[in-house]
Amino acid sequence: MCVRTLIGNETSEPIAPITDSKQCSKSRVKEKYIKLYEEMIEKEKLQRQREQAENALFLPDLADDVLVASTNHYSQILKKLSTYYEVMRRSKVFKILFYTTQPAHVIMIVAVLFVTSVLFPIKERIQSSNHSSRMMSFIYLTSFVIHFGAQIWMTFVSGLSLYFALPRHAFGEVQRVLFPRYFTINACLSLITLLIFVKHHPTHTWDSEIAVQVGAMSGAFFLELLIRLYLTPPLLQLIVQKNNFERAAGVGNEIGRHNPGPLKNCTHYMKIHRAFRRVHVCIAMGNMLTMACTVLHLYYIASKLCAL
């Protein structure tokens, strides 16, 4: 029997088989593919998040963009309208219509004749159908509500708030812009409300209650039209004259009060100021009367309301 002895660097450890090296290489490849797969999944997840972020609507940014775009378009429209207005102001027709009293007389006469023809139509028109529709009721209520809301806002909110918050000249400039638009819009809304109400309540169906309502709405319309045509233009002219005097004297920036300063000894200025006060008081009284007519009609609507 032959016994083999260990010599040199030989050891007693067994020699690893070839299959172990193959298994190690396979595990490394498997780990490599798993890592690649995880990276691919992570990339797809990030891509989906990026796409969702791009497709999602970020409301604050969207609102800012819409606001900026709408403001720019609105300013461009106003510039174009102001350009056309300046061209029209130089025309003879504009000067005749707005710098003379004859057009106001014509408008008032036409308004009186038109309302009279609506209130007292001929027999053929009385025979026409007067069925009510939801659209007409919607327009009627919308015009009345906007009219009443504008009166409340202009009289008790806007006017008082601005008077006690702005310098007197700044407040006057604001009123110069608002007064013509306010009475023009209110007159149109009063006329719409009156026409629809009379359409659904012909003359032959009137009783005392309906007659009072028609009289109140007609009075509101004519008062507002009268103020717009005959009282507002002189008021605006007096505001301009007063402000010119006060700027020259260095007064008019007080808030919530009137202090003429050195102008209290100027007879011409005090004459303009008294005329301004008279016209302004007449407009204020007319506005309160129209508001009373509107409140009266509001009470009538509330008494007929069947929704509650």
* Tens-place pLDDT, residues 218-276: 999 999 999 999 999 999 999 999 989 888 888 888 888 888 888 888 889 899 999 99
Q: Where are the domains of the chain?
A: 31-90, 101-122+132-304
Q: How many CB atoms lie within 10 A of CB 231?
A: 17
CB 71 within 8 A of CB 63: no
Choose between 204 and 19: higher pLDDT.
204
For residue range 133-164, list pLDDT tens digits in order: 788 889 999 999 999 999 999 999 998 899 99
d(CA 118, CA 198): 7
d(CA 193, CA 115): 12
d(CA 266, CA 269): 5
d(CA 108, CA 177): 23
